[in-house]
A and B are shown apart, each in its own frame.
Chain A
Amino acid sequence: MSFPMDDSRPIFVQIAERIENDILEGNLPEESQVPSINQFAAFYQINPATALKGINLLVDQGILYKKRGIGMFVATGVRDIIVGKRKEQFYEQYVVSMVKEAEKLGITTDQLTDMIKRGAKEQ
């Protein structure tokens, strides 16, 4: 099975994001074991060195930790770290570009707020 990766960014970053997503969505609860490097490589059909790099990215941030001889585990209390990081990204990725596009179309800030409220209601 092959999962298409986004060509615009390094794969290891995308692997790290996917693990973070799994932690956020509860597929990987705290203190649970993360699949091995080779399992990642086989599953996503990527080079094991790339998978290792993605996992190390999360180890460096304290999101995953290594148990010698056993494997990688999700650290306790990391959901909040990831949520905080994602909120920051959310602002940059969605809010900034939304405000820009709204400006182009002549949508005022008030109108934009109304639209967001409408969108939230319809959800």
Chain B
Amino acid sequence: MTKIVEVKDLSKHYGKVKAVDNVSFKLEEGKIYGLLGRNGAGKTTIMHMLTAQIFKTSGELKVFGEEPYENENVLNRICFIKESQKYPETFRVKDVLNVSPLFFPNWDKEFAMALVEDFRLPLKRRMKKLSRGMLSAVGIVVGLASRAPLTVFDEPYLGLDAVSRNLFYDRLLEDYGEHPRTIVLSTHLIDEVSQLLEHVLVIDGGKLLLDEEAETLRGNASNVVGAAAKVESFVSGKKVIHRAPFGGLMSATVLGQLSAQDRMSAVELGLEIGPVSLQQMVVHMAGGNGKSGEAAQ
């Protein structure tokens, strides 16, 4: 499959702060990626580098096979919707829609107008008069209607209500089905988007913690609950990403598929096994639990 983005040992340092530290990954054509991690993990910095908004400190970065900086050939194939996307204050919604085709060759005007109606955006209202959620909706309309071969959404839904977020997921999937393209979705609402993602990248402390197919991750972690000593004996030799003692009981989250034999022995030990959502997995891996770092190695 064609690689849209190739990143090798990419770093971005601000003085002593290593915002992004030796990160390597590839993005393939026509997939939906989730870029997940805590605040300050380095997600936005990575997206800024991919879209040539800031310079890298070191490493290799290829987008559509070329360096993105000042490269029109690359940049006109990218659409980046930032967390708090800013448009000129005096612009009306329809002005934003009118200038967008200049930047995005694949712009679909009809689709944009349909989205404006879906999100109930007032076409004649100026940017400075829009609510926070409406501003986010404008960004989403631009991001979707741009149909850019590489579309990057960085927390696109600040202030957006649940109805509109759901609308975003629906429209994204519909349009992606008809016009496949590479989409990077960075978000904290992991539970909401986990079903949409084909591939997941987890960043923590500027490092890449996880780079895996979403379907492989599903069912790849389990919660084991029971008497502490029995839980310990069950999880020995397994990768434990989280431990929570509770009186004489203990809940442990283990990585890796459990075999039929594992399940049998869990039943014999009187342990309960439960599923772990992608969100919980990310919380544990990137979480404050001191053991998470070494377990993830």
Contact = CB atoms under 8 A, between A and B. Distances in A.
A67 B138 CA distance: 41
Contacts of A6: 275
B173 interface: yes
Interface stretch (B57-65, B84-92, B151-159, B212-220): B212-220
| Chain B: number of interface residues, binned into ranges | 20 to 34
Interface stretch (B8-16, B112-120, B190-198, B248-256): B190-198
Interface string A1-41: 01001111111100000000000000000000000011001
B222 interface: yes
B166 interface: yes
Interface stretch (A45-53, A82-90, A110-118): A45-53
Interface in B194-232: 195-198, 214-216, 218-219, 222
A103 to B, nearest CB: 11
Contact of B198 (A9, A10, A38, A47): A47
Contact of A48 (B170, B177, B219, B267): B177
30 contacts: A2-B195, A7-B218, A7-B219, A7-B275, A7-B277, A8-B222, A8-B274, A8-B275, A9-B219, A10-B216, A10-B218, A10-B219, A12-B215, A38-B177, A38-B178, A41-B173, A41-B177, A42-B177, A45-B169, A45-B195, A45-B196, A46-B173, A46-B195, A47-B173, A47-B196, A47-B198, A48-B176, A48-B177, A49-B31, A100-B267
A9 B197 CA distance: 15
B178 A9 contact: no
A45 B165 CA distance: 12
Interface residues of A, number: 22
A114 B102 CA distance: 76
B272 interface: no
- Top 9 nearest A-B pairs by Cβ distance? A8-B275, A38-B177, A7-B275, A7-B277, A46-B195, A10-B215, A10-B218, A47-B198, A9-B219
Contacts of B216: 10
A41 B32 CA distance: 13
Interface of B: 31-32, 166, 169-170, 173-174, 176-178, 180, 195-198, 214-216, 218-219, 222, 267, 274-278
Interface in A42-64: 42, 44-50, 53
